[in-house]
Amino acid sequence: MWELFINPSNLFFSVSLCFMLFLGVFECLLLLIGFSTQGFLDQFIPDQLLEAQYPDLEINVEQNGLLQFLDWLYLGRIPVLVWLIIFLTIYALFGFIVQAIFYHLTQSYFPVWIIAPACLILCMPLVRLSAAAIAKILPKDETTAIKIEELIGRTAHIILGNAKLNYPAQAKVKDQFGQMHYILVEPETDIIFHQGQDVILTQKTKIGFQAIAISTSIT
């Protein structure tokens, strides 16, 4: 067992397992003094992936292949630290098991440059299944449900793409309870809303909202 762990062909799996243990111990120590790495890790998650935490989101991650893949892996649906521990554990154990079986049959190990990327790809379905199972048992944050029309009149921030008439872009807006909503927004007239721009929602559409630029809303 120790030979399997220290063999150079299994370097990536050994490092992954050690890093997973380090994360667990480090998080426990931080919790004892009232801190956590969760908030730090969450900032690296794209806003679009946070849609899974809210039941009324209308954002479409299919517009971006990478975001769609990360969403498939349940990244953003559970705390990032939990997901990272799941990934590191499954990747390491999957690699060790494959190498152990191969060694039992051939008395040799797969080269590290073959087994490391191969296991990274092959373990992804297991990561997804494990993350999905964890997502079902983790307590959900309590949210205050509102009617989506109540967002009309509020300021939204364009977060992805440029919005044109009949070509909405993705935006985020806070309701009166401070809860974040991710929506699709398009202008009322033939103008362009650019990414990073703030707009005011004016009416509901079939897929999202129409809005006007803040500069044009002041009389």
Last residue within a domain, chosen from 102, 137, 172: 137
Looking at the structure, do residues 86 and 177 belong to the same domain, yes or no? no
* Phi and psi based region of residue 80 (left: phi greater than 0; alpha: psi -120 to 50; beta: remaining): alpha
More confident residue, 215 or 131: 131
Does the pLDDT at position 190 exceed 70? yes
**Interval 152-179 mean pLDDT:** 86
The Cβ of residue 73 has, within 10 Å, a number of other Cβ atoms equal to 18
Domain co-membership, 164 together with 127 = no
Higher pLDDT, 78 or 15: 15
What pLDDT, on a 0 to 100 scale, did the predictor assign at position 43?
58
Going by C-alpha positions, the residue among 191, 194, 159 that lies closest to residue 174 is 159
Of all residues in the chain, the percent with pLDDT exceeding 90 is 34
Tell me: do 167 and 90 sit in the same domain: no
d(CA 12, CA 5): 10
Q: How many structural domains comprise the chain? A: 2
**Higher-confidence position of 34 and 135:** 135
Range of the domain at 190: 148-216
- Are both 118 and 62 inside the same structural domain? yes
Please tell me the pTM assigned to this model.
0.59
**pLDDT tens-place string over residues 68-113:** 788 788 887 788 888 999 999 999 999 999 999 999 999 899 999 9
Q: Is residue 210 part of a domain?
A: yes
Both structure tokens of 163: 């919005």
